[in-house]
Structure 1
């Protein structure tokens, strides 16, 4: 839709991968023949976002409006009324956490405290179309859109070689990922992988207020693991490439609902060897038909040992998957597909 001026409304935080996804849309806009900006009046954001994303102060600038929702409902009644400045047929919702249709369970604190019924009333007020990045059957009234894509920076594993700073590393916050990460760490220990690192929040015993149940950890069980702060905005893919292996870990919400995340693509693009635990195997279709050797499987230690012991063979496999994913899931193409949804 050439010439479209797309406003994105969301709850933006500097360290959140959600913000990096929006940055990818902004960067791809020129190639897709449109403009993309963050709507200042219709969003919440921390003080760092305006330094990195274009924030538009006037809702009337936009010809199209995309609401993006994760865990929190961020709109006030006044903001909902202001959104009416853009015609309803040019507004849509991207439902990252599956609030529409009750995909996300009401008892899961990771989806926030807004009841499912209120989410559905909100979405019905905002627009007629809800998009979900959900593998498998969709609820009535929703359509599939992957939302996430391959970063522009893609490093071939052979380009980086097998000599890395880490044998295994995970980058991301402990948002319901404590048990999955601990399982991978224990498998890495059995496989005699010594250099293990995790970067992110809530791995050190601190918790997120109000979400203690899904951010708690037992840091004493990470003896020998290098625990570091979050990776700065825009550096996740590069930092992932410093490790031979990077697991794709998912929260219970993601595992239960089949909702996709950006991490599957970021890990693939980094040049690290991605591994998919059982809970994340539903994402394997994003990697095409060659993903099976990258699944952690019933003997995770043996899988990790095979990946490191036969690095070159698996590096060539990942390189082929990178090319397939880049052709299908590049952001200019995704942005064109998003604009095609508007009536």
Structure 2
């Protein structure tokens, strides 16, 4: 077969981590002997995405199709018909949010888990899930989906960051864990007082239809001196994270309950910021290895954050070691090569 041409079907937006993952696939594609582009006929995207990602208007360009689902089902009936123009054996579904997993039936859908399963079975015989541990349903296989981006910098040893603590991402079941970290940062010795939060639904506004998932207390962050900034566009997330000494990895209930990987687990490492982990992220030891324990906030998060601020050299070494471990297994080149294996068209190597 000639060089594989892989079309991506997805719901892509300028401020979604999902789009950042696709951009990394595109960058890694030449190294594994394939081409990747977003398939416009079977995707939804905003006006910014085509400025940053290759887009094809004719699905006939593709030899293989990868259908990616995150929060919602985006395919119309007509688009579902178009998918069938690619042979079934050359299609896979990537399920970022674990909708196909019976253990993940507790979070906002939309639609019951049976509807997701029926949709996925219609589209492909194989569903790829980024689930670290536990059982997988029939027809599913582990695939990390995302990987380790290029490193922006090494972990900081000195006071050369714009922020002491920063979180980049939307408030989606993350209000309580975020406010707990903010309170701990302000109570730490020394205090981590230069704090920024970037993203949607942090200061009054909520996601219509999902008010419970995006609930927040207007003014709470600003009253504590926290800078509230807009969402960060894909392609800039890792660099913006690197402006902070500490970046918490906040895991929503679905992620904690099922052991799903998320882009932030990789991006925070690549930024050089110190990724601190709440108790709900204990399962990440399988990803980060032995150094994970040193990054756990534990029962006294204020003390932990103060220790990081005063022992930067120690934590820089811990994070650097984890960086190398994760990059060896989860470089985007290796992740993409694994995807080619699932599609039956593995490229030139890792």
- Under a length normalisation based on structure 2, what TM-score does the superposition of the two structures give? 0.94
Alpha-carbon shift at residue 2 of structure 1 (Å): 7.0
Matches within 5 A, 1:287-306: 287-306=288-307
Q: How many residues align?
A: 339
Distance 1:49 1:71 in 2: 18
Matches within 5 A, 1:50-129: 50-105=50-105, 107-109=106-108, 112-129=109-126
SS in 2 for 1:219: coil
**Counterpart contact for 2:201–2:216, Cα < 8 Å:** yes
**Counterpart contact for 1:103–1:139, Cα < 8 Å:** no
SS in 1 for 2:343: coil
Distance 1:40 1:131 in 2: 22
CA-based RMSD of the aligned residues comes to 1.4
Distance 1:231 1:258 in 2: 26
Gaps of 5+ in 2: 345-350
Distance 1:141 1:101 in 2: 11
Distance 2:164 2:110 in 1: 39
**Counterpart contact for 1:14–1:233, Cα < 8 Å:** yes
**Counterpart contact for 2:152–2:242, Cα < 8 Å:** no
Residue number in structure 1 paired with 2:177? 180
Residue number in structure 1 paired with 2:144? 146
- Under a length normalisation based on structure 1, what TM-score does the superposition of the two structures give? 0.95
Alpha-carbon shift at residue 165 of structure 1 (Å): 1.1
Deviations 1:23-68 (A, max 9, x none): 0001100011100000100101111111111111111111111010
Distance 2:240 2:2 in 1: 35
Give structure 1 regions of 4+ aligned residues with deviation exceeding 6 angstroms. none
Matches within 5 A, 1:166-315: 166-191=163-188, 192-222=191-221, 223=223, 224-315=225-316
Between 179-188 and 149-158, the greater mean CA deviation after superposition:
149-158
Residue number in structure 1 paired with 2:337? 336
**Counterpart contact for 1:71–1:97, Cα < 8 Å:** yes
**Counterpart contact for 2:284–2:292, Cα < 8 Å:** no
**Counterpart contact for 2:166–2:248, Cα < 8 Å:** yes
Distance 1:257 1:311 in 2: 32
SS in 2 for 1:74: coil
Gaps of 5+ in 1: none
